[in-house]
Amino acid sequence: MIIRCTKCGKDSNKLPCELKRNADHFCSRKCRDDAKRTKQKIKCDNCQKDLLRTPSRIRKYANQFCDFKCKSEFLRTGYINVHGYRVFSMPKWHPLRCGKRLGRRQVQEHWLVMYDHDPSFTVWARRNQWTIHHKNGIRDDNRFENLEWKAPGTHGSGISVATVNPRELLSVWYRLLAERP
């Protein structure tokens, strides 16, 4: 069967079994190797930064991103779980990606909002079973003004950590860090 080379456009003969194996077809090894090394200049779909990508990667993925942060900002949709919270899948390296309930892969949006505001305290609070309370009771309303910290065991009691002076809260936090072995 006569097939046109993907790289140079020359016609070449291929067996039917070779056509099924690969999407790209080349007339020689030289054309194949050149095509694999060739990268095209495209723009990140989120930040418009210039990227170099192989043609096969461009064909494989509808959107192209420079890193996972750009991808997650662009695809900031997630889904709403059975409890009413918006949930996002996060990469392995993300510090909030932990917890038994969510399968260690997903993070609820209200944790990401608090993490954007104060990363170090949020990671500490998550590890020490603090919770985040939605003041208006709407679980997918994740504006920073609507969220407040709750110490372990105080979520249903009406005791709010948000009424405490932030400097006092930080002094307690630093004291607890100093007490750790």
pLDDT along the chain (181 residues), means of 10: 81 76 79 78 88 86 81 73 83 70 71 88 86 89 90 68 59 72 62
Per-residue confidence (pLDDT) for residue 147, from 0 to 100: 92
Q: Are 39 and 54 in contact (CB under 8 A)?
A: yes
Structure token pair of residue 116: 């954007």
For 168, other C-beta atoms within 10 Å of its C-beta total 10
Distances (CA, A) of 69 to 48, 114, 116: 13, 17, 13
Q: How high is the pLDDT of residue 181?
A: 62
* CATH code, 77-179: 3.90.75
Q: For the chain, give the secondary structure using H, E and C.
A: CEEECCCCCCEEECCHHHHHHCCCCCCCHHHHHHHHHCCEEEECCCCCCEEEECHHHHHHCCCCCCCHHHHHHHCCCCEECCCCCEEEECCCCCCCCCCCCCCCCEEEHHHHHHHHHCHHHHHHHHHCCCEEEECCCCCCCCCHHHEEEECCCCCCCCCCCCCCCHHHHHHHHHHHHHHCC
**Boundaries of every domain in the chain:** 1-37, 39-75, 77-179
What is the pLDDT, as a whole number, of residue 102? Answer: 47
